[in-house]
Structure 1
Amino acid sequence: MKTLIATLLIAAPLMVVNHAAVAATPTKSTAKTTAPAKKSAAKKGVKAAAGAAAAGAAVAVVAAGPASAALSTEDLAVSERVFKGRIPCELGAHVNVTADSANPGYFIVDGRGFKYHMAPVSTTTGTVRLEDKAAGAVWLQIANKSMLMNQKAGQRLADECMSPEQQQVADAIKKNPPPSLLDNK
């Protein structure tokens, strides 16, 4: 069933594009006058697509679209706990987390060199987790910090990210550290 839905989501836009191309096909009288213009426009389109593909190898970009799946009530509850805004990270980096206005519960997570369209995922530990499954990106948010990881590349894109609320919790932990699990008291 999942394969069928995925196939339909992929095929539907292609059918619309094909239908638009058939509707825009010129008649014989206009085909002779517009053929050179079409070839140059096609070449420019191919060059632009190749340039975008080359740039896309270094930068992961996933556009928000109407094809986003509906979220469960648990996932919507997770989305309410996500810290939004410009969140500073270590080494002068930052991450922008903004709600996707077109898709309730979804978020756009971007920064220097990356942009992801993420959906909340419920966890058993209470950790806020946003995922972009197509790109392999994961945003994890705990009480005192957040991090962005690219699971496909096996690297952290941003670490020690703290919203003002998380900074308060981190300061409180520094002042009153929790008891060690190894202490027998």
Structure 2
Amino acid sequence: MTRYHPIIITVLGTMLSACLTTAPQPAAPVRQPAVRSEGQQLKFQLASGVYRCEAGRRVQVQRDAINSNLIELGWQGQRRTLLRYDSTSGLPRYEDRQNGLLWIDLPWKSVLMDARTGQPLANECKLG
């Protein structure tokens, strides 16, 4: 976690400073797009490997060297390819919609969820 601490502080500081500044108000209301563009999605350079999670669970993550929008996930003896989808928060969100798997990827921890029920399958996952 200490390796990513400066990045976290920088991101949080930027977010907080954006909340404190006020921009001049336009004369007429401006309609904002409902969908975030790819440029607003956060990009983390995270490593491949075995993620150790609570309750002794393990998730193998192999990141695609060519396409950063793909990861291969090993879970309970199965290998699945997950595709990154935009998220409203901008955080990395990879899904295998056919099999209902969702991997949320952060520098300090990750979580594997059942996308259909929203229940965590492997929580507090850390590379190690």
Q: Structures share a fold, TM > 0.5?
A: yes
Query: 1:160 — aligned with what?
Result: 124
Q: Does 2:75 match 1:111?
A: yes
In structure 2, the CA distance between the partners of 1:101 and 1:141, relative to structure 1 (3 Å rule), is closer
By how many angstroms is 1:144 displaced?
2.4
By how many angstroms is 1:160 displaced?
0.8
In structure 2, the CA distance between the partners of 1:74 and 1:82, relative to structure 1 (3 Å rule), is farther
Query: 1:148 — aligned with what?
Result: 112
What is the Cα-based RMSD across aligned positions, in Å? Answer: 3.0
Q: Does 2:102 match 1:138?
A: yes
By how many angstroms is 1:98 displaced?
0.5
Q: Which has the larger radius of gyration?
A: 1
In structure 2, the CA distance between the partners of 1:113 and 1:157, relative to structure 1 (3 Å rule), is farther
Q: Report the TM-score when normalising by structure 1.
A: 0.40
Cα deviation digits, residues 106-153 of structure 1 (max 9, x gap): 111112244321011232323211111111211012342111011225
Larger relative strand fraction: 2
Query: 1:99 — aligned with what?
Result: 63
Structure 2 residue runs of 5 or longer lacking an equivalent are 1-36
Paired amino acid for 1:89: C
For 2:106 and 2:42, the matched residues in 1 are separated by 15
For 2:62 and 2:122, the matched residues in 1 are separated by 16
SS at match of 1:162: strand
Number of equivalenced pairs: 92
Deviating above 3 A after TM superposition, structure 1's stretches of 4 or more consecutive aligned residues are 72-78, 80-83, 100-105
Paired amino acid for 1:105: N
Report the more deviating stretch, 127-136 or 92-101.
92-101
Cα deviation digits, residues 70-127 of structure 1 (max 9, x gap): xx9659974x634421111112221111024686631111122443210112323232
Structure 1 residue runs of 5 or longer lacking an equivalent are 1-71, 165-185
Q: Is the 8 A contact 2:72 2:80 kept in 1?
A: yes
Query: 2:92 — aligned with what?
Result: 128
For 1:111 and 1:75, the matched residues in 2 are separated by 30
Larger relative helix fraction: 1
For 2:100 and 2:51, the matched residues in 1 are separated by 21
Q: Report the TM-score when normalising by structure 2.
A: 0.55
Paired amino acid for 1:122: D
